[in-house]
Amino acid sequence: MMRFFQVGRRWVVLAGCAFFAAVAAAAGPKAYVGNFADNTVSVVDIGSAAVVAAIPVVMGPHGMAVSPDGLTVYVSGDGASAVSVIDTATDKVARTIDVGKSPHGLAMSRDGSLLLAGVYGDDRVAFIDTATQAVVATVPVDKPHTIALRPDGREAYVASQAPGRFALVVIDLASRTVSRRVPLEKPPRDLEFGYDGAKLYFTMAGVNAVQVLDPAGDRIVAEVPTGASPHLANVFRGAPGGAAIVQGPGEVLLFDPATNKPIRSIAVGKQPHWMAAATGGGTLYVTNEGSNSLSVVDLASGTTKTITVGNAPRKVVVQPDAARGAASGKRIEIRNFAFAPAETTVAAGDTVVWTNDDGAPHGLAFADGAAGTGVLLPEASFQRTFDRPGSYDYVCAVHPYMTGRVIVRTP
């Protein structure tokens, strides 16, 4: 019975004041764009489509990741040996984490407890505990470029660009060891798991197609034909199809994930590099390294807006819409030593936000073993996105007689 209440290896405390300050700092969630040539990150207010700040970061911002709660953005420096940690409430660098020479890609676990960094110059992948902001382990991988984490949190796939030994290297996250390699004939560029984890989408240098890999057997089961130099592809939850960044023609290629056939193309800027999706999947934010801009793409209509950012923008991340659950009625209050409502029904993909409106500390422990919280102080909040239909029981991690349930239905 104690295992049920003590979920996870660490307690996570989220500061409610910091959360609401981050939301209030702009009209809505913000996008963060890493400008490779400026050593800055442009902060874009999504509501007004305007740059509201430029944050100096480590040299050559290469990889980026945002925490699930939207409170922290991590930026790796290709020309440095560190990762900058941005506090999104103040839009300033709160600290710097030394990881090793020339870190490239970053990948965040779905629960936000672990950040992986591909340390290209030192031939290893660094494991960063986000609670302590420290490197807690490393795994040897030759020339790790980008990283994709399986949504179930069990494995990480790493694009290894070692000359003559190109491969996707698979790391078992529990044992922190390399479990297997998928040899490739050409250098892998980017790799991303679709939102449901069923397929891994990756690109290779010199191949004008997106590779579709089935992780169940590590087999390439299909290709999505593209124009010249596809860089990355993904299938975002709620999007009308898969999307691929194709650098040669400067476009976003939409494709059908069921058939892997192209649907249509949407022109963006010059030499597009990266993309991130807003909550709901209907809008993409695309960096254009060759035109120093960010394209805001409405996937339903195909219309775009252009926002000028810094020089040579590469990566972009978008804050999760943390207020989405509360705004749509998916908010649970903790008050008078009870969850209100005690039972909540949501659709798969919805986010639920718990807020401690009581005078005493509380917490959350989930029966399915998902990461919860330890001490959730008064006015603090916690959120969880439920991806699969089912019934999810939980209790207060401090007062186990407080019980609740979230019922997740098919969307």
pLDDT of res. 28: 60
The arithmetic mean of pLDDT across residues 333-361, rounded, is 87
- Give the confidence band of 335 by pLDDT, cuts at 50, 70, 90: confident
Q: Is the peptide bond before 61 cis (omega within 30 degrees of 0)?
A: no
Q: Which bin fits 254, alpha (ψ -120 to 50), beta or left (φ > 0)? A: beta
| Residue 2 DSSP label | H
- Give the confidence band of 385 by pLDDT, cuts at 50, 70, 90: confident
Residue 411, helix vs strand vs coil: coil
Q: What is the full DSSP assignment across 192-256?
A: EE-TTSS-EEEEETT--EEEEEETTTTEEEEEEE-SS-EEEEE--TT-SSEEEEETTTTEEEEEE
The arithmetic mean of pLDDT across residues 380-392, rounded, is 87
Q: Mind listing the pLDDT tens digit for each residue in 188-231? A: 999 999 988 999 999 999 999 999 999 999 999 999 999 999 99
pLDDT of res. 5: 34
Least confident range from 14-18, 230-234, 301-305: namely: 14-18
Average pLDDT of the chain to the nearest whole number = 89
- Give the confidence band of 411 by pLDDT, cuts at 50, 70, 90: low
The arithmetic mean of pLDDT across residues 156-175, rounded, is 97
Q: Mind listing the pLDDT tens digit for each residue in 56-115? A: 999 999 999 999 888 899 999 999 999 999 999 899 999 999 999 999 999 999 888 999
| Residue 372 DSSP label | -
pLDDT beyond 80 at 20: no
Residue spans of the domains in the chain: they are: 27-318, 324-409
Classify 324-409 by CATH class: mainly beta
Q: Mind listing the pLDDT tens digit for each residue in 393-406? A: 999 999 999 999 99
Between CA 8 and CA 18 the distance in angstroms is 24
Better pLDDT: 352 or 162: 162
Specify the pTM. Answer: 0.75
pLDDT of res. 197: 92
User: CB under 8 Å to 130, separation ≥6 — which residues?
Assistant: 67, 72, 108, 112, 113, 114, 115
Q: Mind listing the pLDDT tens digit for each residue in 281-312? A: 899 999 999 999 999 999 999 999 999 999 99
Count how many residues are written for the chain. 411
Instruction: End-to-end CA distance of the chain: give it in Å, rounded.
Output: 33
pLDDT of res. 321: 64
Token pair for residue 199? 């397929």
pLDDT of res. 111: 81
Residue closest to 63 by CA, chosen among 190, 170, 172, 180: 190
The arithmetic mean of pLDDT across residues 256-260, rounded, is 97
- Give the confidence band of 380 by pLDDT, cuts at 50, 70, 90: confident
> Is 27-318 CATH 2.40.50.60?
no
* Residue 138 Cα distances to 100, 155, 173, 316, 405, angstroms: 10, 15, 11, 26, 38
